[in-house]
Chain A
Amino acid sequence: MTEHDPSGQLERLSRHGLVMAIWAPTVFVAAILFHAGYIYETNWWFAAAFGSLIVAFCAHIIVNVVLKTGFTAGEIALGSAILVGLTLAYLITILTVSDILVDRLTVPIGLGLGTLVVVVVISMVISFGPRRAFEKFDVIRDNNLRAASRLPHRGGRR
């Protein structure tokens, strides 16, 4: 029903616009900083790049709080896919490139990716509390797609 509600759709579009207005410039800045880090062989550029991504993530959370919304399913999927993709690319890079490059990139990018994961976990713990934050990852609990499985006496606690 809500899919055909123009006012609801406009609200979602407005929020989407705000989120994109935060992320798009930040990703551009982060790209410049990553490029600088790669060229300059200085870890501080990588730190600044990951820092800018963390700032955007914090701004996204502030948007959620102000607009009384949460991360949408699309945002979670996109964010997870990008993080997993970056991690895989990082691992493949370490396995395939020359030792000199591995020495340069392993520590700053590994630490940066790790920091991103930690920031996400901390934000979840702050937003939901430890137990509900853990339940977000508890996919086994939610793997029964039958409607009856959602009943409390059947163990469903969605």
Chain B
Amino acid sequence: MTFLLVITLGLLFVYALYFAAQTARIGTNPKDFLDGGMALPGWSVMFILPAIGVAALGVERHLLLVSRYGLQASHVAVGLITMAVAAVMFWNRLWLAARLAGLNTPGEAIGRYYDSIALRVIMMGLCVLFALPYSANLLSQAALLVQQATDGTIPREMAVWVFALSMAIPAIIGGWRAIVLALAMEAVLIAILIPGIMLFGEIVLPGDIFPAQPMRVDDGIFWDRIPGVLQGYAGVGKNVPTGGIFTTVAISSTAISLVGIVLSPATLYLGQTARKGHAFGIGAVWLTGGLAAGLLLIAVPVLAARMPTGLVSHAGALAAIVPLAGVSVILLGVMGGLFAISFFVAGGALLLFRELIHTYLLPNLTDRGQRLGARISLGLGFFLLGLMAAFMPFVSAVFASVALPLALQLLPAMVGFAFMRWISRGAVLAGIALGSLLVVFTEPLGLIIFEGLFVNLPWGRWPLTIHSAGWGLAINLLIVFLSSVATLKGPDMYQRSRFHRAMKAHPPASVARSGLLWGLAILWGFLAYGPGAVLGNFFFSDPIFTELQSVMGVPSLWVWQMLFWLFGVVLVWWVSHSVGFGRTHEVTGKPMRLGMPRSMRSPDWISSGLSRVLNRSGNVPAGHPDKAPVRVLLPDLESKQPDVKPGRGKTRVG
């Protein structure tokens, strides 16, 4: 199997290299290297969205959880519907805002809208978090899988560096467009492999199919039902929940944490750099809500029942019959990780270059200079990734656990940016600060540090079976709503209102439909993965309206999941096509200016620091941009700043 596996992984590398070379050969503007000319093919974005959702769950991790906890863990996949709804709504508004106000990156969009450097820094922090520890953890796991599959012929460290190099080279050659084109194929392959391996295994392997042959879970775990709405449980590492950890509250908070992957900078950037058209809608409705969620809810339990000890044993069983089939099982596990790694490291490196280097350190770079800088950033990013994955797998795993929940803390900021003008900068920052604190202290990162330095905390990871994302978001939303009420009439309301007025000129649809949408979404969420989901435990096996028992041959919860998956697809369809978020149109007219004008020179403290390093005498050569006078258009800005009448809060343009 080793030889075939190496050949297959080599072919993946050749494929990415081929498209990188093809992209590089086209004589487009060098700046397109960073953003694909803001016109990525719609089909590629369409294919990548569901794979990002699957990557958020983690192919190998999700299979292991389902084989260990049964259908209660599989229920989390319903969260892909929520993720699809969030993606289509935020992508649509961000895409529009990028064209209306000439915003290049998600960090710039949020930072300029709220006029906050802190939010840009937070976005950069998330870029680093997803590009390094999160991706390094995935890379380490993928390399470990290869080591196990090859019986140590390819050691973990070697696999880490080979993977890092094989992802870096195409990215450095081809840039954002080439990466996206290669990832789109991997997304299709993942979508084919999940049901393909499941069907193949059921045909060639002996034994009954799930649910006739249920998962071999530990004693006391309910594989076919959800263990209640909430449990008085101190958290992982403190005590053991009854019947399993996936209560409805755990499922809903984990499902909502999947929205964090949509709010990760690289995913927002993908939507921002797409071409206009129907891609968001088709990708969200049919491929994410329909295909990906359906595969995870239907195929994964069947597959997981066959692999109680993980992918390697199943691969070995299939390889004994058809070697290439065994390879495909390992390929599924490895590629699920490599897909996310390539996406987040490349996206993160490009965004960090644009947000940090090009915006603050070297704002006068030419287009060719930007391309070179981006290539260096990509190389550095993949090198650091390899370093972390090879030598710091434990640290990577600890930091990776907070990536999704921390990204979710941007939800109020994005909701304010896209829909609710009354959410203010102060409220958003306060919410993020407190929400993040709660996330950190309900995940291993905070627990290990605090308990190592001070005393043991009475709670562990995910207390009361609530995911850290749920804890953080709850306090975050509370703070944001309370603070926004207090800052409703603040002077920065003017800019937000101006921006939302411009956005309203391109509405997705009518208000009436949006109202109905929210009603439907809440009802669906309550029954699909909220407290109402416990009804699914026995709803179809012991109906409440009769004393008869139905004999379906499948667990009632599985039927409930499929039913609400189908309702969920209708919900995403409603958001995308009926309300209209799934479609983007040409934006015409003069672009508006949001926030302060772009500075053409580095901040003084940075330029003086750089000059000390580069030019010890401190003489800036004549003609250097730093020699030019500061070009901040304050008078222009002041002329458009509103006058705020004390006590009344009404604004008027001066």
Contact = CB atoms under 8 A, between A and B. Distances in A.
A136 to B, nearest CB: 28
B321 interface: yes
Interface residues of B, number: 30
Contacts, number: 76
B185 A21 contact: yes
B595 interface: no
Interface of B: 8, 15, 19, 22-23, 26-28, 37, 39, 41, 43-44, 47, 181, 184-185, 188-189, 192-193, 196, 200, 204, 321-325, 328
B192 A36 contact: no
A29 B43 contact: no
Nearest to A21: B185
Given A10-B26, A22-B188, A17 B325 contact: no
The 7 closest A-B pairs by CB, nearest first: A14-B41, A17-B181, A21-B185, A25-B189, A6-B28, A9-B26, A32-B324
Nearest to A23: B185
Nearest to B18: A20
A25 B192 contact: yes
Contacts of A21: 43-44, 47, 181, 184-185, 188
B419 to A, nearest CB: 32
14 contacts: A9-B26, A9-B27, A10-B26, A10-B28, A13-B19, A14-B41, A14-B181, A18-B41, A18-B44, A21-B188, A28-B328, A29-B192, A32-B200, A39-B321
Interface in A38-59: 39-40
A4 interface: yes
Contacts of B37: 10
A88 interface: no
Nearest to B192: A25
Contact of A39 (B22, B28, B185, B322): B322
A31 interface: yes
A26 B26 CA distance: 28
Given A25-B192, A28-B189, A32-B328, A17 B322 contact: no
Q: Which of B39, B181, B322: most chain A CB closer than 10 A? A: B322
A28 to B, nearest CB: 7
A150 interface: no
A132 interface: no
Nearest to B43: A18
A106 B8 CA distance: 29
Interface of A: 4, 6, 9-10, 13-14, 16-18, 20-22, 24-26, 28-29, 31-32, 35-36, 39-40
Contacts of A29: 192, 196
A29 B188 CA distance: 12
B189 A13 contact: no
A9 B26 CA distance: 7
A17 B184 contact: yes
Contacts of A35: 322-325
A134 to B, nearest CB: 33
Nearest to A63: B43
Contact of B19 (A10, A17, A22, A26): A17
Contacts of B196: 29, 32
Contacts of B41: 14, 17-18
A28 B323 CA distance: 13
B22 A36 contact: no
Contacts of A31: 324
A28 B328 CA distance: 9
Q: Which of B185, B192, B193: most chain A CB closer than 10 A? A: B185
B49 to A, nearest CB: 14
B322 A25 contact: no
Nearest to A18: B43
Contacts of B39: 10
Contacts of A40: 204, 322
Q: Which of A4, A13, A16, A40: most chain B CB closer than 10 A? A: A13
